[in-house]
Amino acid sequence: MADASLTAQTSDRAIVRPKLSRDDWIMRTVMVAIGVFLLIAVLLPLYTMMSKSVENKDGGFVGFANFAEYFSTPALFNSAFNSLSISILATLIILVVTFIYGYALTRTCMPFKWFFKLVAMVPLLTPSLLGGISLIYWFGNQGVLKDLLFGEKIYGPIGITMGSSYWVFPHALMIVITALSITDARLYEAAEALRTSKLKTFLTVTIPGCKYGLISAGFVVFTLVFTDFGVPKVIGGNYNMLATDIYKQVIGQQNFQMGAVVSVVLLVPAIIAFSVDRIVQRKQVALLSARAVPYTPKPSRGRDMSMLAFCSVIALIIIAMIGMAQYAALVTFWPYNLEFSLNNYDFDVMDGGGWEAFWNSIEMALYTAFFGTIIVFTGAYLMEKGRGFTVGRSAFHMVAMAPLAVPGMVLGLAYIFFFNNPANPFNFIYGTMGILVVATVVHFYTVSHLTAVTALKQMDPEFESVSASLKAPFYKTFAKVTVPVCMPAVFDISIYLFLNAMTTVSAVVFLYSSDTTLASVAVLNMDDAGDVAPAAAMAMMIAYTCAAMRIVQVVLTRGIAIKTQAWRNQ
C-alpha cells in the first residue's frame, strides 16, 4: 500500500509533455517557414557580404586588409566623416523644426491644423531624389534663387542637408506628435496649481514628457540621412557620402570588395542607432501604458499666431519643393522656354527605362503590397497567438526586427553577393521582378510587422482558446475573425509597403535588370544623364500614384468603417 502510493508519487513528478495538436503543428511549421525566409533573405546575404569584405578580388581570405586600405585612403575615409557630420546636422535641424511643428499641432489652438498635417505628409509620397531635383531648380547653376546662397554652391553639403531634411521631416514628425500627444494633462494642472512659470513648466513637464519621443525621432532621422542614397546622389556633387561611395565602388569601379567594406562601415552605426532606439522605445511604451488624461490646449492668441507663422513657413517650403518639381516637369526647356508642354513626360525617348519603368514600378509595388502583407500579417499572427513554443516565437520576433537595422544599399549589395552566386539554389531569381519584390518586402518588413503586432495585441487573447474549445481549426478563426477585425491595420500595412516600393531607390538600385527598370531608378538615371526635367516628371508620376493610393486607402477605410460600424465599438 505504502509502496503503491510511493511509486504513484514519483511517477507524478514526471513533467507533463503537452501533446501538440494539428493546429500547433501547422502554426509552428508556417511560422518557422516565414522565419527561414527572413533568415535567407536578410541574415545569409549579410553574412555573405561580410565575408566579401575580408576577401580579395579572387576570393582569398585577407583578414582586415581591405579595412586597412579603406581607413588609410583619405578619399574613402573622408566620406564616413562627411556622412556623420551631415547626418548630425540634419538631425539637429529636423528635431528643432519637428518639435515646434508638432507642438503647434498638438498643444496649441492654431487654426488650419488639418492643412498643416496634410502638407507635412507630402514628402512621404515622393522618392528622396525629388527633393534634390527641386533644389537644383531653386538654387542650382540656373536656379531661381541662386543668389540667396551668396556664391556658395548647392551641390554639396548645403544641398544634401536641405534635401535630406525635406524628406525625413514627416518620419520625424509622426514620432514627435505621438510623444507629444501622450503627455498627461494632470501634470499641467498640477504645475498651474503650483503657479509654476510657463518656461519652467515647459522645461520640467513638456520636455521630459516627450524626451523619449525626441530621442527616438533623432535616431530615426540620423539613420535615414546616414544611409540615404537618393539625395546625395542627385545634389551631392563631388561631396562624397558613404551610400554614394558604395554605389561608385560597385557600379563605377566594379570593386565589390571595397563596396562590401563601405557597407560594413555604414552598417555599424545603423545597428547602433537601431539598438539604442529599441531601448528608448521600450521606455516610451512604459509611459504610454500609464493612464493619462489627454491634454486639451487653451487658446492663446500670441502663441497661436506665432505658431501659425512658423508652420506656414515650413509648409511653404514643402509646397515649394514639390511645386517646383511639378513646374520644372511641365516647362518645355528650362530656363529658356518656360512654356508648358508634356515633352518631359515622353519618357520613351529618353534613357532610363521609359514608361515601362513606371508600369514595372506599379507592378512591383502591387506584388510587394500583396505578398508582403500576407507574409507579414500571417507571421505576426502566428508569433503573437501561437500556443507554447516560446523560444521559437521570441526568435521569430528578433529575426523580424533585424531588417530595420539594415540600410537599403547594404541589403541590395548583399543580395548581389548572395543571389548572383550560381551555386546558390535561389540564383534563378537574380535579375527578375522576384528579387526586387523580395528585397522590398524585406527592407520594409519590420515596421509592417510592428503595425501588425500592435493590431493583434488589441484582440482578445481568448479568441484562440474559444475556437480551440469549439474544435474550429485556427485558420478558420484567422480568416473569419482575426483578419476582418484587423482590416484597417491590414490596409495600413499594404499601403505602407506600396508607397515604399514605389519610392525606394536604395534597396533596388543594384538589383534591377534591363527588363525590370523601375520608376525611381529611372529618376536617378535620367538625372544622371542630365535629363533633369524628365527626372522631375517621373518623380511626379510616382507622387501622383502614391497620392492616388492614399486616397484609395482613405475611401476604403471609410467604407469599412461604415460597413462595420454595427459591430465596432466606437
Partner 1 sequence: MDSAARSFLKIENLVKKFGDFTALQDISLDVYDGEFVCFLGPSGCGKTTLLRAIAGLDIQTHGRIEQDGKDISALPPAERDFGIVFQSYALFPNLTVERNVAYGLENRKLPRAEIDVRVAELLQLVGLPDQGTKYPAQLSGGQQQRVALARAMATSPGLLLLDEPLSALDARVRVHLRTEIKDLQRRLGVTTIMVTHDQEEALTMADRIVVMNHGVIDQVGTPQEIYGSPATSFVADFIGSMNFIPGTVAAKGRVTVGDFPLDCDTTGFNEGDAITVSIRPEDINAQDMEHDDNVVDGEITHLQFMGSFYRAELGGAAFSGHDVQADFSVNLVRRKNVVLGSKLPIRLPADHIQLYPPVED
Smallest separation, CB 335 to partner 1 (Å): 58
Half-sphere exposure of 390 (CA within 13 A, CB side): 0
Q: What is the DSSP letter of 337?
A: E
Residue 372, C-alpha cell as written in the block: 508582403
Q: How far is the CB of 369 from partner 1 (least distance, A)?
A: 23
Contact between residue 497 and residue 553 where contact means Cβ atoms under 8 Å apart: no
Q: Which three cell numbers stand for residue 388?
A: 507554447
Q: How far is the CB of 372 from partner 1 (least distance, A)?
A: 24
- Distance in Å, CB of 559 to partner 1, minimum: 15
390 grid coordinates: 516560446
- Residue 16 or residue 290: which is nearer to partner 1 going by CB? 16
In the complex, minimum distance from the CB of residue 456 to partner 1, in angstroms, rounded to a whole number: 14
Instruction: Judge contact between 347 and 355, C-beta under 8 A.
Output: yes
Output DSSP code: residue 531.
-
The set of cell numbers assigned to 367 is 506584388
For residue 132 the three cell numbers come to 534634390
Minimum CB–partner distance for residue 386 and partner 1 (Å): 12
Rounded Cα gap, residues 361 and 367, in angstroms: 10
Half-sphere exposure of 317 toward its Cβ, with a 13 Å CA cutoff? 15
Residue closer to partner 1 (CB basis): 301 or 471: 471
For the record, the C-alpha cell of 38 comes out as 527572413
**What does the alpha-carbon distance between residue 534 and residue 353 come to, in Å, rounded to a whole number?**
12
Q: How far is the CB of 77 from partner 1 (least distance, A)?
A: 50
b vs e for 96-108, b when ≥16 Cβ sit within 10 Å of the residue's Cβ? Answer: ebbbbbbbbbbbb
Cβ proximity to partner 1, 287 vs 560, nearer residue: 560
HSE value, Cβ hemisphere, 13 Å, CA-based, for 311: 28
Identity of the residue, 20 or 554, whose beta carbon is nearer to partner 1 in the bound complex: 20
Q: What whole-number distance in Å separates Cα of residue 215 and Cα of residue 211?
A: 6
Applying CB under 8 A, the residues found at the interface with partner 1 are 8-9, 12-24, 387, 460, 462-463, 465-473, 476-477, 480-481, 484-485, 564, 566-569
C-beta closer to partner 1: residue 208 or 461 = 461
Shorter beta-carbon distance to partner 1: residue 355 or 463 = 463
Measured from the CB atom, the residue of 39 and 459 that comes closer to partner 1 is 459
